Amino acid sequence: METETNQTPAQPDNAAASPAKKQPHTLREIIESDEFKRQMGLALPKHLTPDRMARVAVTLLIKTPALAQCSPASFLLAMMTCSALGLEPDGRRAHLIPYGKDVQLIVDYKGIVELVLRSGQVSKIHADVVCENDHFEVDRGEIVAHKIDYRKPRGEPFAAYSIVRFKDGAEKCEVMTAEEIDAVRSRSRAGKSGPWVTDWREMAKKTVFRRMSKWLPLSAEIRDAVESDDDQFDYAKTKNVTPRGEMFPGLGEVTK
């Protein structure tokens, strides 16, 4: 006597049936991956989106091919830092500069102003360079006048200053000569490229603001951005701290 048995056909193994998801390996693939966008999204403030930051990053690689020759992990780390600060590295508020095999993040003066004003403790920030044909007057640590005649050439800059007005009406100012600013530039490993070459005046404003910022009640996040330039480094004590690919889990091995 034969016994009829109802056998259910074996179900296909979904894991075996589905093709393995391709891991991104090139820097551009990683930037455009959902995982990296997700990680940027965890750090970004509401006014920026991961898709926009990814587009900015890809545009940077196209405009500055030398960035693609740097350590990919250092590029990704710089993008994550920009995300945490809520600043696009668009060449106006923040810059990514190739330095050897590493990517150096430089926050511009305009980027610092945006961060400080966002903190809510300062009502106004003003900075400018002072040129040979300007009328500039300082009396006992206070800037009395800075008048510019736009009908004639201003001449070469010889100083820069910054003024901050707090919410309670109090003000603080700082003045630096061009020689003092260039001394800071000479200590910067990015001093011969990037914004120091293309936007000296903006970097001069940032430098004098950084000196004045010691008087400001800034958050740790903003303080790090203000002091991010490498003239803070003691080169005798530096070591290789380039991040590895595992800093970005789920993205595969980071290659060029």
- The 8-class DSSP code of residue 215 comes to G
Q: pTM of the predicted model, to two decimals?
A: 0.63
165 close to 124: Cβ distance less than 8 angstroms: yes
* Tokens 């405009």 -> residue: 63
Task: Please check whether residue 137 is in contact with residue 222, taking contact to mean a CB–CB distance below 8 angstroms.
Answer: no
Measured at the alpha carbon of residue 29, what is the angle toward residues 27 and 30, in degrees to the nearest 5? 65
Beta strand 171-177 with 157-166 is: antiparallel
Structure letter (DSSP) for residue 4: P
Among 78-82, 130-134, 168-172, 185-189, the range of highest mean pLDDT: 130-134
186 vs 46, higher pLDDT: 186
Distance CA 236, CA 140 (A): 39
Give the span between the Cα atoms of 221 and 225, in whole angstroms.
Answer: 7
Task: Give 227's DSSP letter.
Answer: T
CA dihedral sign of residues 61, 188, 230, 228: negative
How far apart are alpha carbons 160 and 177 in whole angstroms? Answer: 6
Most confident of 77-86, 146-155, 247-256: 146-155
Q: Using the predicted structure, report yes or no on whether residue 242 has a pLDDT greater than 70.
A: no
Is 217's pLDDT higher than 50? yes
